[in-house]
Structure formats: structure tokens, C-alpha cells
Amino acid sequence: MSKWISKLSLSVAVLLLVAFIAAGAGGQQQVRPHIALLSIEGPIGPATTDYLVRATEEAAEAGAQLIVIQMDTPGGLDAASRDIIQHILASPVPVATYVHPAGARAASAGTYILYASQIAAMTPATTLGAATPVQMGGMPGQPAPGEQPGDQSAGKEDKEREEGAASNGKKAVPDSGTAMQRKIVNDSVAFIRGLAKRHGRNADWAEKAVRDAATLTASEALEENVIDIVANNTQDLIKQSAGREVILDEGSLTLSSDLADLPLESYRPDWRNELLALITNPQIAYILLLIGIYGLIFEGYNPGALVPGIIGIICLLLAFYALQVLPINYAGLALIVVGVALIVAEVFVPSFGALGIGGIIALVIGSVMLIDTDVPGMQVSRGLIGAIAGVSGLAMLGILLAVGKSLRKPRPAMDQALVGSAAVVSNIEDGDVLVHLNGEIWRASCAQPLRQGQRVRVVAQKGLLLQVEPEESG
């Protein structure tokens, strides 16, 4: 018996060891030389950064020899774009950013990413440029904090810049705008010129794309030494990239001449990235915020309902997660909260529309101010704001009509307000009868015997004592 147990124990141990080894082997990703294909479509935001970082790291671990990023973007958020650029610059695998397909563009943030990439390529009939920062922290022409209208410092700086440029035989274009705007533009110019010099591309045109929002077509960009390759398709790009020398963080690297023979593998966003892209969409984040606020307010007015509170907390947490990675205006957020509170307060404190109208105005203004950026596709839709305001207005109108209708009804005396109401006998003990009426427990008396759970109707009211009688059945 003991021998049989020993053999069984040994067999189990061997099986566990084999399973452990198999699990360890399965957990290690198989390394295979290939070319990784990623894509950027639409505005660049936190979800784009998450996808590119995860996908490029996975591709590098899987043995990718080149990472191709197909791009078609109108621009994006500054923080997200800089994260992507830093990741590209530190990548151990060369990155080729490819503006594709025909008709695509690499505008604004896309131009910076193109300049940061080890290989910059475009398809014919595509464009790049217009890299002027649009999130300027103020409207053009407005003085910055501490700067008075008519401040002569800007003119002095422009004059000095023009004199310095003239001494170098160049014509300078004076900067316009507030001091803060000039700081942002100059910072962006220095950033993109550094990227251009790192890869030996045209730094002067890069500065022009920032200061003057200049743009180029694919053929023009190749002539101006802004990009490295004009390719008709991805395979053409890979063929032209073979044998090129690129600059990585560790130093220069010559790409293999056999790149075209490697398989092309596509890396698509996973479910986590899809979820992040959904909740960080400004429209979805805005709707989640409103649902969360309304849910918590209704739970506060109806304690124990649970459903509004649970839904409200979940939606509010998701909204806060989305808003903390989006450029929001906290004054706009505060106005939204105040506006919703005023609209709900109209239900409980009728003010003949004063609270409701003020709430709608605060809600609309706060919604317009909420996302503090002019990046295309990263703002709350004006149509959505109008729809929310319209629904809120209709709700307030319904409240006002209900209040007006209730005011026109004849008001019974206080000691007759419950006469005619239906109730249910909740308890009978020692001759005392308790009935459940409108969510409350009342003492009652009846000339006829009653039983628990029986339906009764109030025929008279004497202070806190109700006179009831059984309802006639069917």
C-alpha cells in the first residue's frame, strides 16, 4: 500500500513539474523576426498613447525588426503626443511613421511624431504641417496675466529678433500674440528643431510649420528634406527602408537588407485600449459625468433606492478617470455641477423657473468650457450640449406645468387631507391598529374587525388618528 502511495505521489510530482515547465514556456513570448504594423487614425489622445506604448513594447519583445506606424491624424493633445514621441525616441526598434493612405494627413501633433521617427515616409497625395500649437491658454490678442494692453516688450523682442536675423542675412517674421502664446510657440519651435536635427531633417521648415502653420505635400516634403521616403504602399516603404542607417537612442543602426522578406504582422488595439478610447472620448466622458451627478442627487433625495446611487458612483468614477487625462477647465466642471443641482432643486423648491433657468444657463456655459482645447475631435459636441440643454428645458417646463396644475387644485383642510386615501393594515396588537399610508405608518381605528394586510380607506381624520373602514371587495 505504501509503495502504491509513493508511486502515486511521484507521478503527481512529475505531472506538476511538467505543467509548471509548460506554463513557463507558454508564458514566454516566442521571438520571431518580423515587421510590426500599427496605425493611428483620428485625434491623438490618451488611448492612442496607451495603444502605441503597449503595441511597440510587445512587438520589440516578439522580435520585430522594424515598427511601421500608419498615420492619419488632424492632431491631438500635447501631453499625449509628447509621451508618444519620447517612447519613439527611446525605442530599441526603429520606427517608421508612414502617412497613409492617399488623402491622409499628419497635421499638428502628427508632424512632430513624423519628425521624431527614425524613418519619415508619406504616400503620394498626403500632407503634413500646420503644427502651430492650438491650445494657447487664451484668445489671440488678449494680454497675458501681468501684461498690460499695449505692452511694448513684445515689440522690443520682435525688433531684436529682426535685427538678429538681418545680421545673419535672413528675414524674420515677428511673433504676435501674448507673452504666454509666444512662450508656447517658442517652446514648440525648440522641440521640433531638436527632433529635426536628431535625424538630419530640415529644421528651418519645421520652425515654419510651427510659426506660420506651413504645410507640404508628399513630393514637396521629400524635396525639402522633411521626410525620407515617398512610398506607394507599405511593401514599397519596407523595400526602400532596407539597408538604411537610422539613429537610435543607443547609436546608429543599419537596417537589414532582407527586410522585405520578413512577414508583416498587424498589432491591433486590445479590449483595454478599446475601453480606454471609449471612456476618454469627450462626448462619452461628458455624458458619464451628467449621469453620475444626477444619480447621486436622486439617491440623496430618495435614500435607500440604491440603483441611482450605484449607477451614479460608477459613472462618476469613470468620468473622473477620463477627465483627469483630458485637458479640462475646472470652472466649467463646477458650473455643470451647480447647473444640475439647480435644475433638480426646482423640483423640490418651486421658484417658478428661476432656479431651473439659472441651472440650464450654468449647464450650457459649463459644458462649452469643460474641455479646454481646440484640438479637432477632442471637444464636447455643440449638438450634444444643445440636446442636453433641450431635454433639461423640457423637464423644467414639465415641472412648472405640474406645479401650476397643483396650485390650481382646491386645497382641503389639513384635518381632511387624507380622507378618501387607501391604506393597508400593517399591524394589529392589543386593539391598536397601524396602517401603512403614503410610505408612513398611522394609528387608526375602525368599528369593524380588521386583519393584517387588509386594504382600508380613510373616512375621517382626527389629528394623528385616522378613522378607516374596509374597502369593498371587487
Check pLDDT > 50 for residue 166: no
Give mean pLDDT, residues 396-406: 73
Give mean pLDDT, residues 128-151: 53
Which of residues 195 and 170 earns the better pLDDT score? Answer: 195
Give mean pLDDT, residues 415-434: 81
Residue 359 domain-assigned (yes or no): yes
- CATH number assigned to the domain comprising residue 456: 2.40.50.140
- Percent pLDDT > 90 in the chain is 36
Range of the domain at 458: 414-470
Number of domain units in the chain: 3
Check pLDDT > 50 for residue 167: no
The predicted structure's pLDDT at residue 171: 41
Residue 94 domain-assigned (yes or no): yes
Which stretch of 42-56, 166-180, 223-237, 336-350 has the lowest confidence by average pLDDT? 166-180
102 and 192 together in one domain: yes
Q: Cα 386 from chain centroid?
A: 20
128 and 46 together in one domain: yes
Q: Is the pTM of this model over 0.85?
A: no
233 and 258 together in one domain: yes
Check pLDDT > 90 for residue 392: no
Distance CA 74, CA 322 (A): 21
- CATH number assigned to the domain comprising residue 192: 3.90.226.10
Check pLDDT > 70 for residue 367: yes
Residue 457 domain-assigned (yes or no): yes
pLDDT in tens, 338-362: 988 888 787 777 677 788 888 889 9
377 and 419 together in one domain: no
311 and 224 together in one domain: no
DSSP codes of every residue in 15-80: HHHHHHHHHHHHHSPPP--EEEEEEEESSB-HHHHHHHHHHHHHHHHTTEEEEEEEEEBS-B-HHH
The predicted structure's pLDDT at residue 470: 87
225 and 116 together in one domain: yes
308 and 450 together in one domain: no
Angle between helices 179-198 and 203-211 (to 10 degrees): 150
Which stretch of 35-39, 183-187, 346-350 has the lowest confidence by average pLDDT? 346-350
- 186 pLDDT band, cuts 50/70/90, is very high
Q: Average pLDDT, whole number, for the chain?
A: 81
Residue 395 domain-assigned (yes or no): yes
Distance CA 64, CA 248 (A): 15
292 and 369 together in one domain: yes
Check pLDDT > 90 for residue 272: no
Residue 193 domain-assigned (yes or no): yes
The secondary structure element, H or E, covering residue 395 is helix 382-408
454 and 314 together in one domain: no
Distance CA 311, CA 359 (A): 23
104 and 241 together in one domain: yes
Residue 169 domain-assigned (yes or no): no
198 and 92 together in one domain: yes
End position of a domain, from candidates 382, 408, 434: 408
Residue 13 domain-assigned (yes or no): no
pLDDT in tens, 201-243: 999 999 999 999 999 999 999 999 999 999 999 999 999 999 9
Check pLDDT > 50 for residue 22: no
pLDDT in tens, 124-135: 999 999 988 865
The SS3 of residue 409 is coil
354 and 425 together in one domain: no
Contact 135, 327 (CB under 8 A): yes
CA neighbor of 80 nearest in space, from 135, 139, 9: 135
CA neighbor of 73 nearest in space, from 371, 378, 368, 379: 378
Residue 209 domain-assigned (yes or no): yes
End position of a domain, from candidates 385, 408, 431: 408
- 420 pLDDT band, cuts 50/70/90, is confident
Give mean pLDDT, residues 365-391: 82
Distance CA 337, CA 312 (A): 13
